[in-house]
């Protein structure tokens, strides 16, 4: 990142050419540069039609100009937006003119959002939520991102951090003023019951991390089974296009194939894998190795077997749900005892039930959960750290108050790192590099 005293600008709308282009400007020179380009400034937060000119008087375009004086702006700095027609030449000229101003430069990835964080307009969870909102492709991803970007998760964590801070303050009061009459009661009576309750709340919240990550990243469903069990045919039917090559030759699928589905607003990542069998063929063996690795990382395995044969129930390293699917029900009688479901990719029989099976699984995972959920490995790791040290504080009854207070401090520190309140400088470059230019 460059100097935060620079004024930054960028195209904040979509790719060009387009009907409209929005150029965002933020920093100490944002308003003065905009005034020079537009001739005069409108009232704050009111759009005005202006003729945009270069400093040599050349007309660039006519467009809307808005200004947002700091600190009441997205970044907390003076900000401006210039809305012009989305032609490549128009935008290139406007950006080139802005670059000619002293201490003005093109923004880097996520720099507007980073300035919002640095100026206290957003915290780290809200920033991540904003990034997820921009990237959201399904309804549930959008809802989860909105919850995070709007501060729902942050308020929960800040409330917990406040309780930890109060507990530590009472401990310090007892340690420092144990002989004074104005210290109310014992620390044990005042805080340890609340800390035990907080421990339970943290544990229950952490239990929802799996579902939060599924909403954000997608439910990982792997189609596995013996060769010619109908795996690739099912993949093609669900994708509604020819994704996988289908032949009667065993071992046709050698690598892992992947498509994204949207099921009832949830992102579902569907994987087709090589047929599982003993083989000496080198390439096929590598395909089987990749199939088993993918299966071990799945949330659900659809274990396919042609009706009349055994569907594999156990997969190395996998401890999730396996659904035994009997295939080719158009040429075999349905067996309701041997399989959880029987389908035919040729006729479509059973596919509606398969769809409902996946929906039911998602609904079971989301039962009684709000969308104020941790959704990233970073959240899960720090919540686990916070819970572990809080548990040590609650359970270390024989330890001194100073030691238990230190455990509470460590627990609060981990919570603070989630929202970016403490010691996260090393994370910022990585997080903001994921943003698009102009955001």
Query: What dotted CATH number matches 126-208+374-420?
Result: 1.20.120.430
Is beta strand 59-68 parallel, antiparallel or unpaired with respect to 79-86?
antiparallel
pLDDT value, residue 92: 96
More confident residue, 182 or 323: 323
Query: Alpha-carbon Rg of the chain, whole angstroms?
Result: 29
In whole angstroms, what is the distance from residue 53 CA to residue 62 CA? 9
Give per-residue pLDDT as tens, 186-220: 556 678 999 999 999 999 999 999 999 999 999 99
Distance in angstroms (rounded) separating the CA atoms of residues 74 and 67: 11
CA-nearest of 158, 153, 94 to 126 is 153
Per-residue pLDDT reduced to its tens digit, 261-279: 999 999 999 999 888 888 8
Positions of E strands within 273-343: 300-306, 321-327, 341-342
Strand order in the sheet with 321-327: 257-263, 266-272, 219-225, 300-306, 321-327, 341-342
Residue 25 to residues 22, 59, 99, 102, Cα–Cα distance (Å)? 10, 19, 11, 14
| Paired tokens of 427 | 């994370």
pLDDT in tens, 409-435: 999 999 999 998 765 554 456 556 655
Which CATH superfamily hosts domain 7-114? Probable tRNA modification gtpase trme; domain 1 (3.30.1360.120)
Q: Do domains 7-114 and 126-208+374-420 have the same CATH topology?
A: no
The confidence score (pLDDT) of residue 402 equals: 86
The string of pLDDT tens digits covering residues 49-59 is: 999 999 999 99
Confidence of residue 177 (pLDDT cuts 50, 70, 90): low
Instruction: Return contacts of 60-67, CB within 8 angstroms, 24+ apart.
Output: 60/84, 60/90, 60/93, 60/94, 60/97, 61/85, 61/90, 61/94, 65/34, 65/38, 65/41, 66/42, 67/30, 67/31, 67/34, 67/41, 67/42
**346 in the Ramachandran plot: left (φ > 0), alpha (ψ -120 to 50) or beta?**
alpha
Query: Is the pLDDT at 23 greater than 90, yes or no?
Result: yes
SS (H, E, C) 150-201: CCHHHHHHHHHHHHHHHHHHHHHHHHHCCCCCCCCCCHHHHHHHHHHHHHHH
215-366: what fold?
Answer: Rossmann fold (3.40.50)
Element (DSSP H or E) covering residue 414: helix 401-419
In 3-state terms, what secondary structure has residue 286?
A: helix
Q: Where are the domains of the chain?
A: 7-114, 126-208+374-420, 215-366
Q: Has residue 70 got a pLDDT over 70?
A: yes
* pLDDT tens, residue by residue, 213-256: 999 999 999 999 998 888 888 988 888 877 655 555 454 555 78
For residue 404, give every residue at least 6 positions away whose Cβ sits within 8 Å of its Cβ, in sequence order, or none. Answer: 171, 393, 396
pLDDT for position 368: 63
What's the pLDDT score for residue 253?
Answer: 56
């Amino acid at each position: 990142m460059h100097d935060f005293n620079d004024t930054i600008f960028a195209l904040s709308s979509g790719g060009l050419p387009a009907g409209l282009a929005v150029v965002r400007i933020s920093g100490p020179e944002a308003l003065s540069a905009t005034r020079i380009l537009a001739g005069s400034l409108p009232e704050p937060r009111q759009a005005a039609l202006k003729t945009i000119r270069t400093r040599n008087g050349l007309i660039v375009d006519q467009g809307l100009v808005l200004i947002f004086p700091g600190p009441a702006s997205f970044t907390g700095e003076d900000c401006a937006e210039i809305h012009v027609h989305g032609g490549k030449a128009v935008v290139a000229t406007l950006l080139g003119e802005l670059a000619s101003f002293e201490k003005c430069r093109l923004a880097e990835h996520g720099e507007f959002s980073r300035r919002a964080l640095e100026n206290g307009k957003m915290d780290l969870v809200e920033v991540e939520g904003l990034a997820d909102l921009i990237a959201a492709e399904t309804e549930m991803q959008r809802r989860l991102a909105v919850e995070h970007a709007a501060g729902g998760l942050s308020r929960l964590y800040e409330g917990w951090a406040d309780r930890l801070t109060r507990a530590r303050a009472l401990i310090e009061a007892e340690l420092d003023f144990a002989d004074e009459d104005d210290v109310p009661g014992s620390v044990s009576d005042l805080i340890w019951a609340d800390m035990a309750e907080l421990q339970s709340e943290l544990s229950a919240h952490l239990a929802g991390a799996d579902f939060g990550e599924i909403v954000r990243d997608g439910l990982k469903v792997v189609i596995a089974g013996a060769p010619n069990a109908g795996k690739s045919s099912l993949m093609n039917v669900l994708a509604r296009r020819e994704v996988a090559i289908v032949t009667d030759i065993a071992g046709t699928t050698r690598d892992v194939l992947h498509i994204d589905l949207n099921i009832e607003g949830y992102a579902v990542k569907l994987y087709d894998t090589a047929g599982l069998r003993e083989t000496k063929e080198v390439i096929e063996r590598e395909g089987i190795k990749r199939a088993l690795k993918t299966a071990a990382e799945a949330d659900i395995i659809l274990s396919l077997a042609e009706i009349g044969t055994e569907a594999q129930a156990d997969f190395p390293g996998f401890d999730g749900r396996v659904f035994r699917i009997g295939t080719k029900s158009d040429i075999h009688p349905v067996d309701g005892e041997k399989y959880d479901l029987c389908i035919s990719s040729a006729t479509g029989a059973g596919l509606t039930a398969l769809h409902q099976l996946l929906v039911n699984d998602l609904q079971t995972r989301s039962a009684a959960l709000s969308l104020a959920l941790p959704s990233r490995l970073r959240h899960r790791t720090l919540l686990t750290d916070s819970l572990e040290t809080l548990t040590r504080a609650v359970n270390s009854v024989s330890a001194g108050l100073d030691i238990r207070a230190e455990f509470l401090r460590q627990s609060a520190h981990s919570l603070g790192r989630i929202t970016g309140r403490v010691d996260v400088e090393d994370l910022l470059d990585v997080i903001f590099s994921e943003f698009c230019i102009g955001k």
